[in-house]
């Protein structure tokens, strides 16, 4: 069984009297352990697709199956739980809690998962060590470089052992060198068998993935392995 | 349950963090709550200190004794109401005597009236000028729990022969006769001379009260005039029987004073309990009024809390988006913001309770010379009201926060 199965997914918004069709019937499957890049120009429906994959949004019609769960029929609380357990987000702007230390930031998903205090601390420290930040536990985001912040975000995304890591322009706010570092980290994660989905509009970022899905006008334009 | 407690602990920790980041704003916000709680606690503590003191004084009668007199024990109403009591006929000596004869159902009846206030002198010294000269009967000593420690008690024969004898309270005897016994000596009240036949001691609670010199009530009436309000003191044989005895005494005195059936008593029958109750009914209105005013202050504070929480929610839209993306349910966000409002209120509340108690006790101890009081019940009520304010005024901002769209709020700049 596939990890992700989208079948004829449509998503439209009511903008005043007009209806905007962001997705017009997307079907695709992603297997466990794949490293996929989703590309497309702005307005292509790429962000909507990512929000759907990340269970932040529900499709207007169609079927979305994630790890055997029918996401389309879930209510708000169930979606929150799925996000907590199955999905790790990495954002372009890092989206860390500015006033909390790296450790607190990484602990956050565990708090909502109901993990106890000491266990939580242990797991979070291990996750930060995995991304090479064992010596930055008590630093706040504004005391760290962009690359370090993004690594905290990756540690936070992975701390609950999710089924997929969903990254939205993960290198967009980083210089080339630190961007390359993050991509290397992603490569390592993929090699360890994690499922990665990277949404980007940079060709050279997408090239790191094993498979590129191009979206255009709310439809999958092409879906091919990277050669 | 365990999970809920863990969540609560996390929420409190997050709330403290959020409050600490905006110190000035938080302080200004909780100032409102502080003032509200401060005024409640200040008033209640002051009232409690006064109440304790008055109850102690009213309670000095003991649980077996009650008093029949013209005026009520405590009255705080307007002048019209007071005139009703003033217009009553005095309880005359003849009526009191008649009552004493008919009151065979109780072991002791004493009559007492105050005749003169002034300075008592002996060969050696003089008392402060606030000494009270009381006319009494032998029963007065029993009903007041005055114990003879030297000399002899007042006798019926003293009353019959209207002798110029007197008994002194222990403190007065010590002042007038610092070396040696007072018994057998003579004292003077405005050139009228009395021979001291005994010294009596009062209950420990009357320490520091004005000095007393007691003479036979008949002698006093002859000398100072017969138009006096007499207070009748009655002692029941057992505390359990005091209500019956009070009821019977009412009947007897109504008959003596010829009060028509159906008309209310034209005198007051007061026990310690009933006086305390009377005092409480009188002060109840005052306490409720003040509590109400303080509640209005808390209401205003609550609006301030709500305002700040709404600002806080808008400011932290992105944080809310992050939390939602990471797996926070609406309920989690709701809890977080309500807890934050409660914590804010409670900090203000605790400060208000502490300051209120300190302020009121400073007032009570230094200005009113009363023992301090710590009304724990009101502290608890005050803090409970704070939590309520937090919940009520934190709910709408929390609801707003919980229902933000996660996608929108992640994009919020």
Average pLDDT in the A21-40 region? Answer: 92
Establish, for the pair of chains A and B, how many residue pairs have beta carbons separated by less than 8 Å.
65
Residues of B within 8 A of A117 (CB-CB) are 6
- The 10 Å Cβ neighbour count of residue B18 is 20
C-alpha to C-alpha distance for B351 and A169, rounded to whole angstroms: 49
Tens of pLDDT along B302-318?
998 999 999 999 999 99
Q: Name chain B contacts of A81, Cβ cutoff 8 Å.
A: 327, 329
pLDDT of residue B240: 84
What the block records as the tokens of B72 is 């009520």
Give the list of residues 6+ apart from residue A52 with CB closer than 8 angstroms, or none. A6, A9, A11, A23, A58, A59, A64
- Residue of A43 and B330 predicted with greater confidence: B330
Give CB contacts under 8 A, 24+ apart, made by B246-253. B246/B66, B246/B271, B248/B103, B248/B105, B249/B66, B249/B68, B249/B99, B249/B103, B249/B106, B252/B99, B252/B102, B252/B103, B253/B68, B253/B91, B253/B95, B253/B99
The pLDDT, as a whole number, for residue B297 is 85
Reply yes or no on whether the pLDDT at B92 is more than 60: yes
pLDDT at B354: 93
- Report the length, in residues, of chain B: 413
CA distances from B120 to B147, B149, B158, B165 (A): 22, 20, 21, 14
**Is A77's CB within 8 Å of B21's CB?**
no
Q: Are A24 and A201 in contact (CB under 8 A)?
A: no
Per-residue confidence (pLDDT) for residue B59, from 0 to 100: 63
For residue B18, pLDDT beyond 90: no
Min distance A178 CA to chain B CA atoms (Å): 23
Of A224, A162, A168, A223, residue with least CA distance to A189: A162
How far is the C-alpha of B54 from the C-alpha of B70, rounded, in Å? 20
**Least confident range of A101-110, B306-315, B337-346, B356-365:** B356-365
Which run of H or of E encompasses B167? Answer: strand B165-169
B124, B185 Cβ separation under 8 angstroms: no
Higher-pLDDT residue of A186 and A117 is A186
3-state SS assignment for residue B215: strand
Q: Kindly identify which residue of chain A lies nearest to residue B405, measuring between CA atoms.
A: A56
Residue A55: name the closest of B404, B411, B331, B326 by CA.
B326
C-alpha dihedral sign at A50, A56, A62, A64? positive
Alpha carbons B252 and B102: distance in angstroms, whole number: 7
A79 contacts chain B (CB < 8 A): no
| Structure tokens belonging to residue B79 | 């002048």
Using an 8 Å Cβ cutoff, are B69 and B268 in contact?
yes
Report percent pLDDT > 70 for chain B: 96
Cβ contact, residue pair A109, B17, below 8 Å: no
- Closest C-alpha to B73, from B265, B278, B210, B283: B278
Q: What is the 3-state secondary structure of A123-168?
A: HHHHHHHHCCCHHHCCCCHHHCCHHHHHHHHHHHHHCCCCCEEEEE
pLDDT at site B13? 86
Band (pLDDT 50/70/90 cuts) for residue B180 is confident
Provide the pLDDT for residue B45.
Answer: 85
- Smallest Cβ–Cβ distance between B329 and the set A56, A57, A77 belongs to A77
Q: Do B321 and A95 touch (CB under 8 A)?
A: yes
pLDDT band at B179 (very low <50, low <70, confident <90, very high): confident
State how far Cα B171 lies from the chain centre.
28
pLDDT of residue B58: 67
pLDDT higher than 70, residue A120:
yes
- Please write the tens of the pLDDT for every residue from B203-224: 755 556 778 899 999 999 998 8
Tell me how far apart the alpha carbons of residues B131 and B119 are, in angstroms, rounded to a whole number: 6
- Measured between alpha carbons, how far is A24 from A35 in angstroms, rounded to an integer? 24
Q: What is the pLDDT of residues B226-254, one digit of tens each?
A: 888 899 999 988 888 888 889 999 999 99
Q: Could you tell me if A192 and A205 are in contact, meaning their C-beta atoms sit under 8 angstroms apart? A: no
Q: How far apart are CA B335 and CA B329, in angstroms?
A: 10
CA atoms of A52 and A59, how far apart (whole Å): 7
Whether the complex's predicted ipTM is more than 0.85 is answered with yes
Which among A143-157, B54-68, B231-245, B267-281 has the top mean pLDDT? A143-157
Residue B78 three-state SS: coil
Residue A126: what pLDDT?
94
In eight-state DSSP terms, residue A172 is T
Yes or no: say if B176 and B125 are a contact pair by the CB < 8 Å rule: yes
Q: What is the mean pLDDT of residues B30-36?
A: 89
Shortest distance between the Cα of A227 and any Cα of chain B, in A, equals 34
Is A146:A173 a contact under the CB 8 Å cutoff? yes
Dig out the tokens for A34 from the structure: 């794949």
Cα B382 to Cα B181: distance, rounded to the nearest angstrom: 57
pLDDT of residue B206: 56
Contact (CB<8Å) B322/A97: yes
Residues A140-155 have pLDDT tens digits of 999 999 999 999 999 9
β-bridge mates for residue B67, sequence order = B233, B270
User: How near does any CA of chain B get to the CA of A102, in Å?
Assistant: 15
CA–CA distance, B98 with B254 (Å, rounded to integer): 12
**Which residues of A, range 49-78, sit inside 8 Å of B by Cβ?**
51, 54, 56-57, 76-77
Shortest CA distance from A83: residue in chain B = B327
Query: Between β-strands A69-70 and A87-90, what pairing exists: parallel, antiparallel or unpaired?
Result: unpaired
DSSP H or E run through B362: helix B330-362
Retrieve residue A13's tokens: 């918004």
Tokens of B100: 């004493």
- Which of these, B271, B236, B249, lies nearest to B72 by C-alpha position? B271
Query: For residue B3, what pLDDT band results from cuts at 50, 70 and 90?
Result: confident
Cα–chain-centroid distance for residue A145?
21
Range A61-81 average pLDDT: 90
Domains and CATH numbers, chain A: 4-225 (3.40.50.300)
B143 CA to centre of own chain: 24
pLDDT tens, residue by residue, A179-217: 999 999 999 999 999 999 999 988 989 999 999 999 999
Least confident window among A171-185, B76-90, B177-191, B392-406: B76-90
> Would you place residue B361 in the very low, low, confident or very high pLDDT band (cuts 50, 70, 90)?
confident
């Amino acid at each position: 069984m596939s990890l992700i199965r989208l079948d004829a997914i449509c998503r439209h918004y009511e903008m005043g009297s007009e209806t905007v069709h962001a997705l017009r019937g997307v079907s695709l499957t992603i297997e466990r352990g794949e490293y996929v890049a989703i590309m497309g120009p702005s307005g292509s429906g790429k962000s909507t697709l990512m929000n759907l994959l990340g269970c932040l949004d529900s499709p207007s019609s169609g079927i979305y199956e994630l790890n055997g769960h029918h996401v389309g029929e879930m209510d708000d609380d169930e979606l929150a739980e799925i996000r907590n357990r199955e999905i790790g987000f990495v954002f372009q702007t890092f989206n860390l809690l500015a006033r909390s230390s790296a450790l607190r930031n990484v602990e956050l998903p565990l708090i909502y998962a109901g993990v106890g205090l000491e266990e939580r601390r242990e797991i979070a420290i291990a996750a930060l060590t995995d991304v090479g930040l064992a010596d930055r536990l008590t630093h706040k985001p504004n005391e760290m470089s962009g690359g370090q912040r993004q690594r905290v975000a990756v540690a936070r995304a992975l701390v609950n052992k999710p089924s997929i890591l969903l990254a939205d322009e993960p290198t967009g706010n980083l210089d080339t060198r630190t961007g390359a570092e993050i991509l290397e980290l992603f490569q390592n994660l993929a090699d360890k068998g994690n499922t990665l989905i990277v949404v980007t509009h940079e060709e050279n970022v997408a090239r790191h993935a094993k498979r590129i899905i191009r979206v255009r006008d709310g439809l999958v334009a092409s879906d091919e392995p990277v050669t | 349950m365990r999970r809920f407690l863990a969540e609560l602990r996390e929420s409190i920790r997050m709330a403290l963090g959020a409050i600490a980041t905006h110190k000035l704003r938080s302080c200004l916000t909780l100032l409102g709550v502080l003032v509200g709680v401060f005024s409640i606690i200040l008033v209640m503590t002051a009232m409690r200190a006064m109440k304790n003191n008055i109850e102690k004084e009213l309670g000095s009668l003991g649980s077996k004794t009650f008093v029949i007199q013209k005026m009520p024990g405590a009255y705080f109403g307007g002048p019209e109401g007071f005139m009703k009591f003033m217009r009553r006929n005095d309880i005359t000596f003849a009526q009191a005597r008649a009552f004493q004869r008919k009151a065979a159902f109780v072991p002791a009846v004493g009559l007492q009236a105050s005749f003169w206030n002034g300075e008592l002198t002996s060969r050696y010294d003089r008392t402060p000028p606030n000494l009270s000269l009381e006319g009494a009967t032998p029963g007065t000593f029993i009903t007041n729990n005055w114990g003879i420690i030297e000399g002899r008690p007042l006798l019926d024969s003293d009353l019959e022969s209207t002798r110029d004898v007197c008994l002194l309270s222990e403190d007065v005897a010590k002042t007038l006769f610092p070396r040696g016994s007072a018994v057998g000596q003579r004292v003077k009240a405005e050139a009228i001379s009395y021979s001291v036949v005994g010294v009596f001691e009062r209950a420990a609670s009357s320490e520091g009260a004005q000095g007393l010199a007691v003479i036979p009530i008949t002698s006093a009436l002859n000398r100072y005039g017969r138009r006096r309000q007499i207070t009748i003191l009655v002692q029941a044989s057992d505390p359990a029987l005091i209500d019956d005895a009070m009821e019977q005494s009412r009947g007897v005195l109504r008959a003596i004073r010829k009060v028509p059936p159906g008309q209310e008593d034209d005198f007051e029958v007061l026990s310690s309990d009933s006086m305390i109750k009377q005092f409480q009914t009188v002060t109840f209105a005052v306490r409720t009024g003040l509590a109400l005013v303080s509640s209005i202050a808390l209401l205003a504070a609550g609006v301030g809390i709500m305002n700040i929480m709404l600002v806080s929610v808008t400011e932290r839209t992105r944080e809310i988006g992050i939390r939602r993306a990471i797996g926070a349910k609406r309920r989690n966000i709701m809890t977080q913001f309500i807890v934050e409002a409660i914590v804010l209120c409670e900090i203000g509340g605790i400060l208000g309770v502490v300051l209120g108690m300190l302020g009121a006790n400073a007032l009570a101890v230094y200005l009113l010379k009363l023992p301090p009081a710590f009304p724990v019940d009101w502290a608890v009520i005050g803090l409970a009201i704070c939590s309520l304010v937090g919940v009520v005024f934190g709910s709408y901002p929390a609801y707003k926060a919980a229902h933000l769209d996660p996608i929108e709020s992640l994009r919020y700049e």
